[in-house]
Structure 1
Amino acid sequence: MQTLQSLQYEELHSHYNRYLSPFLPYNLKDRYTDRIILPEAIGNGSISRTRLRPGMEVIMADFQITDDHIMHLHGNLPMVDLTFWIQGNIEISHSGIQEQISAGLGHLTFGQEEQIELKYTAHEAFAICEVRLATALFDAFMDELGLARYTYSAILDGRLNCMFSQSILPKVQTILQDMRSHPFAGPLRKMFLEGKTLELLALCFQHTLLEDEAPSQRRTGRLRKDDIERVREAGRILQQRMEQPPSLLELSRLAGISDSKLKFGFRELYGTTVFGYLKEKRLDKAKELLETERINVCDAALMVGYSNPSHFAAIFKERFGSNPREWIIESRRL
């Protein structure tokens, strides 16, 4: 006889299939993973869903579509959803509100979907990682951690939905990169992804739920709203001028914020220093150039602000686990 908990787990795992119906049938379906290769008439790329354990699954999507596409989500299945928007900009409509979601954001959501529209733009590359937890499993995790006060229902506190938003931290970026490029298949793939998913959950729960006494409080509450926007503007300036970045004092002047608040704000929003953030963005851009523009290592280094190719190669390997030339060879095999 099935328990209420096991029925809830089965419902979670069957829930996602309805939204994949335009792309079915599955091209790969094994004991753990369902994988869809998009038909040429729709676009290119793939969507995979791996059942990691009862009540926990991870969806990895890397794709482009030929025409603009709207995905309608509607349902009343309660769940905990952790989504990372790695690449591509998506317009979301919910409860009469339109919101533009940019790459580099993560959302931890408690509640049910209700009526949501996701608008994908034709020919834009999208990369998304989504972790879904059944509410019973989330409560079991909190109980194991001695944090039973942070139950699913306590976090919602009578609301239909509750969402925590944050920029993707460098540590999280590294985990996501590992999840998107690894050598494992079958049961080892499931084991690897489960370990990485638990790392994501631990970092996310620590940063959103557990840093303050009450689950409704946010770390960014220590900064005023206008200060947060100025810190984000500083981040945009660094990305636009990574080849010749401004000094810390010039950056603070351009963003309209004191240098002490700027340093504090980067720690709060991005979990790193100002120039730690610049380093991460430079390396991400360099990797993108090597993969998509097919330029040589020296040119990629110069384009993101590194005049010493040897230094660039060393920090690239430290970040991604292989040097730039090895990365080029591997990316062109895919």
Structure 2
Amino acid sequence: MSYQDLPEIYINHLLEQAEEQPLPYILKQIPLEVGSVKAEEKKTRQGICWFDWEMRWERDMHVEKKGNADTDTIQLIFFLNHGMNWEMEHLRQPVSMEAGECCIYRDAQTSSIGDYPGGHKMLFKSLQIPVNVFDGLVGDILERDAGDRMKRILAGFHKMTMTPDMYRMIREVNNAGRYQNGLASLFLEGKILELLTVFLDTLMQPCHGIKAENGLSRTDLLMLLEIKDRIDKDSASVPGISQLAKEVHISPSKLTKGFKKLTGTSLHAYVIDQRLHHAASLLEEGQMNVSEAAMCSGYSNMSHFSAAFRKKYGVLPKNYPVGKC
């Protein structure tokens, strides 16, 4: 079968062989004229798999995944710099993911079609946890109400905005290579479990059920969650507190106090933290220089950017990622 005439059919046929041959071997067979797909796999002693994906298709690509009777895993996927669309046979509506979002679903004999945009370098991470391992880890921890909610979530598809802690944990998972032999495996397992804890904590927070808490009314909570989501998706364009309060028709005082109750940090500090996370992600991709990453993250003053970046990450942006010459 030739890839020149029917590249999508060729790629889908090629990926079907991943069930019988190692995934890295299959991916190396993808012609550069069609695209480049790399996947670095790490695996814990419990059978949890961590995939570090780097993908670029030269044209829009529809990649089909057929259901597998032997597959029953909990999938967590973190989209770092670009989104995609999915069609899953057990869902009535297509799923749309954006950069900075993550999702969880149960992959149990599920066929799907992924629509990947061409001409973009996509970076995302995926965590595959066998269902029996997942149940063993959290089954006895979640209280009854939370456990019932988790079952409902896994019966469908749930997505949310990535938090700063998730970005931090993803970077730490990638540092497992600095240890040797069994220590690397021990470090990886600990960090993956910590990432899972952060993810589930965010997923199961009362605010995701839109309940009143910490003295906040349901209306206030909805408004604050919208503001937080806006910051998470595009921190660079968030206006000052006065303008933001005016846009949502509340006082600046109520906005700042409510945001602190919801997140545990001030609105200003949260915006700065998200901007620095975004800048760090851009620098990790290696497609932008420091000035470009700063501008895209909402900084016009390079001195302020460098000082804030060094305070958070311990190095100047020009030396990030750590170890860069």
Which residues in structure 2 correspond to 1:68-147 (within 5 Å)?
A: 68-75=60-67, 77-94=71-88, 95-110=91-106, 112=108, 114-142=110-138, 146-147=141-142
Instruction: Give % identity.
Output: 16
8 A contact 1:234–1:255 mirrored in 2:
no
CA RMSD in angstroms comes to 4.2
Q: Which amino acid aligns with 1:218?
A: H
2:312 to 319, 324, 331: 319
Distance 1:189 1:20 in 2: 29
Contact 2:256–2:266, Cα closer than 8 Å, also in 1: no
Equivalenced residue count is 299
State whether structure 2 residue 289 is matched by structure 1 residue 294.
yes
Deviations 1:16-40 (Å, cap 9, x if unpaired)? xx994478975868xxxx9869652
**1:330 Cα deviation from its structure 2 partner:** 4.8
Q: Report if aligned partners of 1:44, 1:64 keep a CA contact under 8 Å in 2.
A: yes
Query: Counterpart of 2:239 in structure 1: which amino acid?
Result: P
Shift in Å at residue 74 of structure 1?
3.6
Structure 2 CA distance for aligned equivalents of residues 231 and 80 of structure 1 = 30
The alpha-carbon distance between structure 1 residues 56 and 302, as it changes in their structure 2 partners (threshold 3 A), is: closer
Q: One-letter code of the match for 1:293?
A: M
* TM-score (normalizing by structure 2): 0.72
Distance change (3 Å), C-alpha of 1:22 and 1:324: farther
Instruction: Give the structure 1 partner of residue 199 of structure 2.
Output: 204
1:163-218 per-residue CA deviation (whole Å, 9 max, x = no partner) reads 44321111111111233466537635433322221111111222324x45xxxx93
| 1:271-314 deviation digits (Å, cap 9, x = unpaired) | 754223321232234332683233559x94797336362x5334
Moved more, 55-64 or 284-293: 284-293
Report 1:1-334 matches (<5 A): 20-21=15-16, 39-44=31-36, 46-75=38-67, 77-94=71-88, 95-110=91-106, 112=108, 114-142=110-138, 146-147=141-142, 149=144, 155-156=150-151, 161-180=155-174, 183-184=177-178, 187=181, 188-209=183-204, 211=205, 218-222=208-212, 223=218, 227=223, 230-231=226-227, 234-235=230-231, 239-241=235-237, 246-255=239-248, 259=252, 260=254, 264=258, 268=262, 272-287=265-280, 288=282, 291-295=286-290, 300=294, 304-305=298-299, 307=301, 309=303, 311-327=304-320, 330=323
Cα pair 2:78 2:125 within 8 Å, conserved: yes
Bigger strand share: 1
Q: Are the counterparts in 1 of residues 39 and 52 from structure 2 also a CA contact under 8 Å?
A: yes
Secondary structure of 1:97's aligned partner = coil
Quote how far apart the aligned CAs of 1:321 are: 4.2
Mark the CA change 1:251 to 1:37 in structure 2 (over 3 Å): closer, same or farther. Answer: farther
Do the aligned partners of residues 286 and 273 (structure 1) sit closer, same or farther apart at CA in structure 2, a change above 3 Å counting? same
The alpha-carbon deviation at position 98 of structure 1 amounts to 2.1
Aligned amino acid, residue 56 of structure 1: I
* In structure 2, C-alpha distance between the alignment counterparts of 1:302 and 1:70, rounded to whole Å: 30
Q: Which digits, 9 at most, give the CA deviation of each residue in 1:74-132, with x for residues without a partner?
A: 42533222221112110122334123210111222246362322110111121111111
* CA distance 1:92–1:190, change in 2 (3 Å): same
SS of the residue aligned with 1:317?
helix
**What is aligned with 1:7?**
none
Q: Is the 8 A contact 1:71 1:119 kept in 2?
A: yes
